Amino acid sequence: MKPATVKESPTPSITRTCTLLAFAFFVPVLGAGAAVSKGFNHLLDAVVRIDVREESFDAGARRFTAGIGSGVIVSDDGLILTNAHVASPRSVELSVTLASLERVNATLVGWDHWTDLALLRIDLAEAKRRGLTFTHARFADSDTLFPGQTVYAVGTPHGLTRTVTRGIISNNRRYFADNRGVKGYETGLFNTWLQTDAAINPGNSGGPLVDEQGRVVGINSRGYLGADNLAFAIPANIAKRVVADLKGDGTITRSYIGIVPGALLDLEGFYSLKQNTGLLINSVDPGSPAARAGLRGGDIVLSIDGAAVDGRFPEQLPPILNIIASLPVGYNVKLVVKRGDQTLTPAIVTEKLESRQGEEWAFEKWGLTVRKVSRAYARENQLDDDTGLLVIGVQPGFPAAVAGLSRGDIVTKINQERIVTLEIAKALHDAFVAKPAPTLVEAESDRRVSLYILKP
Amino acid sequence: MKPSRSHLRFFFFVVVLLACAGARADDLPGLFKERVKSVVAVEFFTESELDRRPTIASALVADASGTLVLPPNAINNYVPPVKLKDFRVYLPGRPASEYSSGEYLGQDPVSGWHFVRVEEKLRGSLTPVTAFTARDASAEPSLGEEFWGIGLRGKDEDFMPYFMASRISNVQSLPERTAIALAEVAAPGLPVFDRAGKFAGVAIGGFGQTFVQYSRNDRGLPVMLLNVEESSVFQLAPDVIPWLARVPADVSGRPISWLGAYGLQPMDPEVAAFLKLGDQSGCVVSEVLEGSPAETAGLKARDIILTVDGRPLPRFKPDRVVVTYFERELGRRKPGDAVALTVLRGTERVEIKATLAEQPKLLREADRTYFEKLGFTAREFVYGDGIVRRVKLAGHKGVVAHFVKNSSPAGTAGLRPDDWILEVDGVEVKTYAEAIVKLAAIEADTTRTEFVLLTSRGGETAVLRVKLK
């Protein structure tokens, strides 16, 4: 039940917040030094709780799960910044609890799993009709952060709305490889992270990390569960760019050439390189533009489009990858590459960066949930091409499970028809629903081809 | 003193006489005492880079020239025969300090059995299992009939033989005719006899039983238990007696016939009915290997093999037995033999005539060298490595890290077993010999402080820097 008036709010803290909300509206913000707490309280009014209902396809059927996260309002027209692992295209219901404790619906504007950021918009018509007001946070320059600087995390840890925790910046350029990603989507390749010891727990996700003036320096994203205050946030400067891009058409287009870098560390001597030059290519994705141009593991990239690169330390790698990702798609990028004593200038044309995660779908009558095999998935798993649907769930007792299909199989043909797109399978399922008949499925598992019959 | 040949023959004669006339049917203690002579315990050592590990297995006596047969799982297929050392043969119940030496003869590709020949001095104390009358195919075990066999205790108990018996609950084709008893009848690899002492079959391992395990923390956890010392399942004598004579001509087990149809999967009856194949069984070919007889003969991935030399593949329960049946059919043939297959390709029946070839070099035959200072073993890249890594024949190069020592320079640099080494010090290594020369030079050079490997793991390459100082 929502409170009828602000005065009836149950806890003193909320009364205070609401009072200050009025304050913020009528009094202009003063100079930072004089009004540290004002800036901070202004920020508190921009932090929201996000309740998400989303669909999942893991169990052989379309199912719904609920989750809670945090977010921060970043514009006066109701844009909310949160994590991609809080709000995603799988979200079917997004409801936002404002600082005033009023709940309002929101819609997904766009998401970017590569940076683990998503952008929502408050249902402005509803907000206007109900006379709801809100304020928005300001960003700080995250490049000026220094280790030891005091920061605060604001959010909804374990559903405890409006929790503020305090800590310091433990490291302002943390690099870590993240293999699990955001719901299986890749993340963190193109940015470093802010590390903080401010307590961050599940539910803090998407909430802001702020400085003492209440300016957003990062978006809290993840922590090591069970560790003592090792938490990570996406730097505000990355977030600002993502907001600007997502605001447009809801997507961010990045470029891909297919190189996997490794830190050069102290291999400069071996490769006869000058101090602080070069990016070591550890691996080249088969079939990628870089592979087609003849690049291979052990090559050293000296410059990208004339700008020298330095990939000596792991935390230097994401910004370099970001340079490549920021190039236009179909662009002829000029790399200077050193291989032994040779210097190569391969012709590489960028491709559109795609996730390894394909679209998911549930074939209800078969009790089968699948994920489309993507180009990247096919590449990683050395499949011939991106034909097929990866089985991600079977429902016990349904035709797929009875026939013997199981998680991890790749359905390559249904009734002798190659499953090049998800749409082909949907049409075959529709036909099965309309007129149930035994259906022949060809599936691969660990390179072994088996045949199954789905019986009505 | 070494017994003369005539002595031996005489002894053998006596034994055979004993076997035929010594014990009355139903005199189980008497039958047991005689038949224990057809079993021994075998111990051997598997040598690795760092240690020697002992293995103990039960073995049966196959013939009068001291040939012993060990079950397939007694020796890991991937271990090169030269790494199997110091075979020792123990008589059941005799002090374990008295043993005879044996020689490893290799593995038969059809049965998977390993063969060992014991030194001459012990042969007189042994009776081949074939010396006892065998049950023939017309006398298949009937349900409820009782069979018995022999188990051996551990080395600390001098491999004391003991008696086991049980009744038959079921006989199946897997694809060998196989009897399943109610309880354990013999140690895996040891013979099983009927009440009259006739040789009825050989016990095989690998059959587990499903239980539900309850504990303080778990409520009903399904578990499968496998008795590795005793078995209740045995393959019947008519099917396994021919195998006893399959002593490998060479320790490599060659010749081994090869078709090159990879990842055979059974076709189940539902699929057969859908494809209007009636009661026909079949094997789906997942891939056709490059350069194989199957490829030359025009077999294609996803073909369904329906007949071998005109004979339809029989239906088995469970379905997957048909794959073993087909592999046995090929195994029976020699390289150079022709095999005719009928396959279903889409809706069309296609006749394939393939000439089997000799199996490409196996993993256990791959050359290898251990570099102690560097801390790893480099192994030759063989055909199977190409299959696993999906590398075309033209791309076969480099070496594979077969073993990596913990905390060694290579181990610290991040090298892992099965990593594929493509370059050493920035230079591509095309062949095993080339790699060994390079690595040996690095190992011998005491002034070297580091070297660099380009390795591939799961399709991704990585540059590893190995620090030597």
Is there a contact between A416 and B456 if contact means CB atoms under 8 Å apart? no
Range in A5-14, A121-130, B206-215, B263-272 the model is least confident about: A5-14
Q: Which residue has the higher pLDDT, A1 or B49?
A: B49
Read off the pLDDT of each residue in B179-189 and give the average, rounded to a whole number. 97
Q: How many CB atoms lie within 10 A of CB A329?
A: 13
DSSP code, position B129: G
**CA geometry: angle A198, A24, A156, nearest 5 deg:** 30
Q: Which residue has the higher pLDDT, B59 or A287?
A: B59
DSSP code, position B13: H
DSSP labels, B274-324: HTT-TT---EE--EE-TTSHHHHHT--TT-EEEEETTEEPPP-SSTTHHHH
Read off the pLDDT of each residue in B39-58 and give the average, rounded to a whole number. 96
Kindly identify which residue of chain B lies nearest to residue A283, measuring between CA atoms: B461
Query: Coil, helix or strand for B163?
Result: strand
Mutate to test the interface with A, among B275, B302, B428, B461 (most CBs of A within 10 A): B461
- Length of chain B measured in residues: 469
- CATH topology for B1-253 is Thrombin, subunit H (2.40.10)
pLDDT (0 to 100) of residue A11: 33
pLDDT for B14 beyond 60 = no
pLDDT for A202 beyond 80 = yes
Query: Which of B211, B248, B285 lies closest to B106, judged by CA?
Result: B248
Q: Would residue B309 be called left, alpha or beta, if left means φ above 0 and alpha means ψ between -120 and 50 degrees? A: left
Mutate to test the interface with A, among B267, B274, B412, B451 (most CBs of A within 10 A): B274
Q: Within a 13 Å sphere around the CA of B300, how many CA atoms are in the beta-carbon half?
A: 10
Query: Which of A419, A390, A392, A402 lies closest to A366, judged by CA?
Result: A402
Six token digits for residue B386: 């190409």
Decide if A133 contacts A124 (C-beta within 8 A): no
Gap between the Cα atoms of A212 and A172, Å rounded:
16
| Close Cβ partners of A360 (under 8 Å, ≥ 6 residues apart) | A57, A90, A369, A370, A371, A372, A392
Percent with pLDDT over 70 in chain B: 95
Read off the pLDDT of each residue in B380-401 and give the average, rounded to a whole number. 95
- Choose among B284, B286, B423: nearest Cβ to A298: B423
DSSP code, position A213: T
**Nearest-neighbour CA in chain A from B176: distance (Å):** 24
Q: Please provide the average confidence, as pLDDT, over all residues in chain A.
A: 89
Kindly identify which residue of chain A lies nearest to residue B427, measuring between CA atoms: A340
Is there a contact between B275 and A440 if contact means CB atoms under 8 Å apart? yes
Q: Per the residue annotation, which of A205, A221, A255, A288 is the catalytic one?
A: A205
Query: Which of B404, B357, B364, B358 lies closest to B380, judged by CA?
Result: B364
Six token digits for residue B275: 């494809």
Chain A residues near residue B270 by CB distance under 8 angstroms: 403, 438, 452-453, 455
| A148-201 pLDDT per residue, tens | 999 999 999 998 989 999 999 999 999 876 767 788 889 888 999 999 999 999
pLDDT for B353 beyond 90 = yes
Gap between the Cα atoms of B380 and B397, Å rounded:
9
Decide if A2 contacts A103 (C-beta within 8 A): yes
Gap between the Cα atoms of B324 and B320, Å rounded:
7
pLDDT for A2 beyond 60 = no
Percent with pLDDT over 70 in chain A: 91
pLDDT (0 to 100) of residue B24: 61
Is there a contact between A380 and B459 if contact means CB atoms under 8 Å apart? yes
Six token digits for residue B255: 């010749």
Decide if A84 contacts A51 (C-beta within 8 A): no
pLDDT (0 to 100) of residue B23: 58
Query: Do β-strands B427-428 and B420-424 pair in parallel, antiparallel, or remain unpaired?
Result: antiparallel
Six token digits for residue A139: 């960003």
Q: What are phi and psi of B127, to 5 degrees?
A: -125, 120
ipTM over 0.95: no
CB pairs under 8 A between A and B: 82
For the whole prediction, is pTM greater than 0.90?
no
Read off the pLDDT of each residue in B457-466 and give the average, rounded to a whole number. 92
pLDDT for B10 beyond 70 = no
Q: Per the residue annotation, which of A116, A211, A245, A409 is the catalytic one?
A: A116
Query: What sign results for the dihedral spanned by CA atoms A112, A114, A116, A117?
Result: negative
Six token digits for residue A244: 């600007």
Assess whether the region B257-358 and the region B366-467 belong to the same CATH fold: yes
A452 inside 8 A of chain B by CB = yes
DSSP code, position B269: H
Please give the domain boundaries of chain A with CATH numbers for all domains: 1-253 (2.40.10.120), 256-352 (2.30.42.10), 360-454 (2.30.42.10)
pLDDT for B5 beyond 60 = no
Range in A32-46, A280-294, A334-348, B455-469 the model is least confident about: A32-46
| B295-341 pLDDT per residue, tens | 999 999 999 999 999 999 999 999 999 999 999 999 999 999 999 99
pLDDT (0 to 100) of residue A20: 27
CATH class as words, domain B257-358: mainly beta
B423 inside 8 A of chain A by CB = yes
Decide if A439 contacts A451 (C-beta within 8 A): no
Is there a contact between B465 and A416 if contact means CB atoms under 8 Å apart? no
Catalytic-residue membership of A205: yes
Decide if B132 contacts B139 (C-beta within 8 A): no
Query: Do β-strands A79-82 and A63-73 pair in parallel, antiparallel, or remain unpaired?
Result: antiparallel
| A219-267 pLDDT per residue, tens | 999 888 888 899 999 999 999 999 999 999 999 999 999 999 999 887 8
**Nearest-neighbour CA in chain B from A447: distance (Å):** 7
Decide if A78 contacts A46 (C-beta within 8 A): no
**What is the architecture of the domain spanning B366-467?**
Roll (2.30)
A265 inside 8 A of chain B by CB = yes
pLDDT (0 to 100) of residue B62: 97
Kindly identify which residue of chain B lies nearest to residue A443, measuring between CA atoms: B286
- Counts for chain B of helices (H) and strands (E), in that order: 10, 31
pLDDT for A87 beyond 80 = yes
Read off the pLDDT of each residue in B338-360 and give the average, rounded to a whole number. 96
Catalytic-residue membership of A429: no
Six token digits for residue B147: 């069979």
| Close Cβ partners of A263 (under 8 Å, ≥ 6 residues apart) | A280, A311, A312, A313, A314, A316, A317
Is there a contact between B463 and A403 if contact means CB atoms under 8 Å apart? no
Chain A residues near residue B265 by CB distance under 8 angstroms: 448-451
**CA geometry: angle A147, A153, A157, nearest 5 deg:** 135
Read off the pLDDT of each residue in B401-411 and give the average, rounded to a whole number. 96
Listed by start position, the domains of chain B span 1-253, 257-358, 366-467
* 298-337 of B, contacting A, C-beta below 8 A: 301-302, 304
Query: Coil, helix or strand for A423?
Result: helix
pLDDT (0 to 100) of residue A39: 85
Query: What sign results for the dihedral spanned by CA atoms B329, B334, B339, B344?
Result: positive
Gap between the Cα atoms of A67 and A65, Å rounded:
7
Q: How many CB atoms lie within 10 A of CB A1?
A: 3
B290 inside 8 A of chain A by CB = no
A407 inside 8 A of chain B by CB = no
Gap between the Cα atoms of A79 and A108, Å rounded:
10
Decide if A74 contacts A136 (C-beta within 8 A): yes
Mutate to test the interface with B, among A283, A439, A444 (most CBs of B within 10 A): A283
DSSP labels, A291-327: HHTT--TT-EEEEETTEE-B--SGGGHHHHHHHHHTS
Q: Which amino acid is present at B59?
A: A
**Nearest-neighbour CA in chain A from B304: distance (Å):** 10
A287 inside 8 A of chain B by CB = no
| A44-76 pLDDT per residue, tens | 999 999 999 999 998 899 999 999 999 999 999
Question: What separation in angstroms does the CA of A323 have from each of A142, A179, A246, A281?
Answer: 19, 21, 19, 15
